[in-house]
Structure 1
Amino acid sequence: MTQHQLQGRSEKEILWFQRRDTLKAAAAWVAMGGLPAAMAQQRSNIVELRGDALINGNRLQNGQTIMTGDQLQTGPGSNLMFVIGNSAFQVRENSVITVERGTTLNTVSLLRMITGAVVSVWGKGSSRSIIMPTLTAGIRGTGVYAEVFPSQGNRSYFCNCYGTVDMESNGQRTLSQSSYHQAFWGEVEPRDGRQLTPANAINHTDEELEFLAGLVGQQTAWQIAGRKGVKDGRGYMDPQPPAQQYPAQTPVVR
Structure 2
Amino acid sequence: MNISLHGKRAIVSGSTAGIGFAIAFGLAEAGAEVVINGRSKARVTRAIEQIQRKLPGARVTGVTADLGTAEGAETLFAKVPDTDILVNNLGIFEPKGFFDITDDDWRRFFEVNVMSAVRLSRHYAPAMAEREWGRVLFLSSESALQIPTEMVHYGTTKTALLAISRGLAETLAGTGVTVNAVLPGPTRSEGVGGFFSQMAEEQGVPAEELEASFIAEHRSSSIIKRLATVEEVASLVVYLASRQASATTGAAMRVDGGVVRSIA
* TM-score, structure 1 as length reference: 0.33
* TM-score, structure 2 as length reference: 0.32
Q: Whose RCO is larger (CA < 8 A, sep 6+)? A: 2
Structure with a larger share of its residues in helix: 2
Structure with a larger share of its residues in strand: 1
